[in-house]
Structure 1
Amino acid sequence: MTITNALSGTSVDEVSDGIYRINTPVVFEDGPGGFSFNQYLIVDDEPLLFHTGPRKMFALVREAVASVIPPERLRHIAFSHVEADECGSLNEWLAVAPDAQPLCGSIAKLVSIDDLADRPARGLEDGEAVELGKHKVRWLATPHLPHAWECGMLIEETTRALLCSDLFTQPGSDHPPITGSDILGPCEAFRRSMDYYSHTKHADAMLERLAALEPRMLACMHGSAWEGDCASLVRALAQSLHE
């Protein structure tokens, strides 16, 4: 683990070949526990950042990216859906990376990003792939899973890392970069307490599609990245949503 900011505890770890998890823990004042925010940097000929982090965390995330590559090398600023932690600092990243373009689903481009962003987005259709060099990412549209019409995920086809955004949100601020221990229990307890899933009737089909891809890692936005039998874990989540 490389700590890039001692005050915030922001750190960087290579969690798969050429894929770096940037993590900032947050402890809430006058509140129990904490939370964590992750971004994933794919280093290649055309580097990609997945999740920008909130606007107020931009300096921390930029510092962390700079510990791996010059931020101006970024070519793709990607995210799952429109929320502050997903794309809140999008324009700040476009300013420091002049050749970068927002990368999102076609719905997000249509309804939000071409208005919010300082440069037009590349809107991906379901199943569309983007070559980064030795890595290739493919957009998987998951409308309303876990939330937001424009929601989607990326699978990196070389490492089989699934950039799954909020799908397995883990509470707390102290997480190892990678784990193989139980995350479904804490994730589901947190989901039930917050009720942030959309209750879409198509969840089963979308989760089965993700499981059938047989990812080797779940690159979660909040908490640890998870290694193990990812297909079984995704199917266990589908079962839990019924219970």
Structure 2
Amino acid sequence: MTIIDQDLYQFSTYVQPINLSFHQYLLANEEPLLFHTGNIQQAKVLVPQLKAVLNDKTLKYIFVSHFESDECGGLSHILEHFPGVKPICSEVTARQLTGFGLASELIVKKPGERLLTKDYELEFFNYPCEMHLWEGLLVMETRRRIFFSSDLMMRFGEANGTHIESNWQMEIENIRLEQVPDPERRLQLQKTLMQLNPGFVATGHGPCLKLNK
């Protein structure tokens, strides 16, 4: 567990056979928000750490960018320990979560919509996820200018609490067809992201990114 920025915590697991780190993030304030659950094994390790950070508080929200094991595979386990938490996701992801019996009470958001609380403001963007191009969501916390990149802007290797310097335009240009396997939708995503001005990227895999101009 690492404190990334003020009340933002990162929880990491390194999987050596594939040389990849998996991150979840927690905004620990009056309405605590978890970004992704990890898979079921990662969630079992995550829950005691969440309880230690939150103390007597409970989770308010879980953001799920898209339907994949490391994004939401541990959701049922998280809900056992935080039964009142509400997942935030796209309409397609909501259908998948309810269809597999992983959750019932969800908050569905569309690209361009926001969620405002006393401590943070989230803005949501369309995310055509690999490999089936299911409509997911990306999110930016606009007050802190932190972009949560999910499976975009990822790097291999062990990266627990680390960050590197990078450039936003370069990161966007480096989004590969393997990540968004439709040229038109990838171009549209890149155009959307180029309108943003984050200062920091909280990645799903690899080191976080501190952005220069």
For normalisation by structure 1, the TM-score amounts to 0.76
Q: Is 1:85 matched with 2:70?
A: yes
Question: Which one of the candidate residues 183, 194, 213 is aligned to 2:196?
Answer: 213
Q: Percent identity?
A: 24
| Map 1:106-117 → 2, pairs under 5 A | 106-109=91-94, 111-116=95-100, 117=102
Unpaired runs of 5+ residues, structure 2, are none
Q: Which position in structure 2 is the counterpart of 1:169? A: 154
Alignment of 1:10-25 (within 5 A): 12-25=1-14
Determine if the alignment matches structure 1 residue 142 to structure 2 residue 127. Answer: yes
Deviations 1:150-194 (A, max 9, x none): 221110011010111000121112455222168979xx69x68xx
Q: Which residue of 2 aligns with 1:7?
A: none
Cα deviation for residue 72 of structure 1 reads 6.0
Equivalent in the alignment of 1:178: 163
Instruction: Find the aligned partners of 1:175 and 1:97 in 2 and give their Cα distance.
Output: 25
Asked if the contact 2:66/2:129 (under 8 Å) is kept, the reply is: no
Give, in whole Å, the separation in 1 of the partners of 2:115 and 2:194: 21
More strand by percentage: 2
Per-residue CA deviation, residues 9-30 of structure 1 (Å, 9 max, x unaligned), is: xxx22222321111111212xx
Q: Is the 8 A contact 1:179 1:226 kept in 2?
A: yes
String of CA shifts for 1:185-233, please: whole Å, max 9, x gaps: 9xx69x68xx34423412222222212110111111001110113xx7x
Equivalenced residues, count: 210
Unaligned runs of 5+ in 1: 1-11, 233-243
Q: Is the contact between residue 60 and residue 85 of structure 2 (CA under 8 Å) also seen in structure 1?
A: yes
Instruction: Report the 3-state secondary structure (helix = DSSP H, G, I; strand = E; otherwise coil) of the residue aligned with 2:42.
Output: helix
What residue number does 2:141 align with? 156
TM-score by length of 2: 0.86
| Bigger relative contact order (CA 8 A; separation at least 6) | 2
RMSD after superposition: 2.7
